[in-house]
Amino acid sequence: MLVAGLAAVACSGSSSGSAAASRNDPAAARALERSFERGARTPWLVRSTFDRRLTGGRSLRDAITELNRPPDTHLNVALGTLAGTLRGKPVDCSTSGGAPTCSPDATATAPDAGADAIRTVTDPRLAWYTVRRIGSRTVLGRPASCFRVAVTPKAGQLDFGLRTDLCFLASGIPVRKVVVRKAGTDTTNATAIVQTVTDADIDAATAPFRSPG
């Protein structure tokens, strides 16, 4: 949910016109990095809703499944795509054309890549983003710590949009993400959290992307 994550929230463009973010809180940035790192070491499966609302009024809703089983599997299934690492092998598949297809050039993204991304964009030599805590919330009856990653006027690229809010359980399981860009806002909220991942879970997540026979 990332990340992928990110990982998954990349957006090119200029930061001109965005409000200057508050000063970076190094302790909050380190806590956010540790959340990514704990999540990478923990088995989990999270099902979520994905809601995209564009500034022009259009919207898109979908269901997302993200799972992590250390040390060799991390998958994100969303919008007809499968991406991540499956039993040590990078995968990048799609069903957009009807029949499932997988790229032979898939590259793996580490489940803790978000930690490296935060270290990079908050490095004082770049200072593209700031991080601060934005309190806590209860997600499916469980307490979650939340952080805001906000762009600064120095940003050379918008890896985390204009602003990204991220919430994690104490174990590092991601349960909420809100990405704000000029084009609109993406909101991902967990609807189910499972702290074990079986072979059957992995097979179910990948089944739509396997070629018949």
Domains of the chain: total: 1
Residues near 109 by beta carbon (within 8 Å), at least 6 away in sequence: 3, 4, 5, 6, 7, 74, 83, 84, 85, 90
Q: Is the pLDDT of residue 11 over 50?
A: no
Answer whether residue 58 is part of any domain.
yes
- CATH code, domain carrying 114: 2.50.20.10
User: Are 53 and 188 spatial neighbours (Cβ–Cβ below 8 Å)?
Assistant: no
* 196 is a domain residue: yes
Q: Domain for residue 3, yes or no?
A: no
Q: What is the tens place of the pLDDT at every residue in 179-194?
A: 999 999 999 999 999 9
19 pLDDT more than 80: no
7 belongs to a structural domain: no
Q: For 23, phi and psi rounded to 5 degrees? A: -60, 145
Within 10 angstroms of residue 127's Cβ, the number of other Cβ atoms is 16
Question: How far is Cα 121 from Cα 29, in angstroms, rounded to an integer?
Answer: 10
E strands in the chain: 44-54, 59-69, 73-78, 81-86, 89-94, 101-102, 129-139, 142-151, 163-168, 174-181, 184-194
Domain that holds residue 126: 26-207
Residue 132 lies in a domain: yes
pLDDT tens digit sequence for 64-121: 999 999 999 999 999 999 999 999 999 999 998 888 999 999 988 777 889 999 999 9
Residue 18 confidence (pLDDT) above 70: no
State yes or no: pLDDT of 146 exceeds 80: yes
Look at residue 158 in the predicted model and tell me its pLDDT.
Answer: 86
In a domain, 98, yes or no: yes
Answer whether residue 9 is part of any domain. no
**Quick check: pTM over 0.85?**
yes
Residue 15 belongs to some domain of the structure: no
Strands 184-194 and 44-54: antiparallel
CA gap 102, 152 in Å, rounded: 37
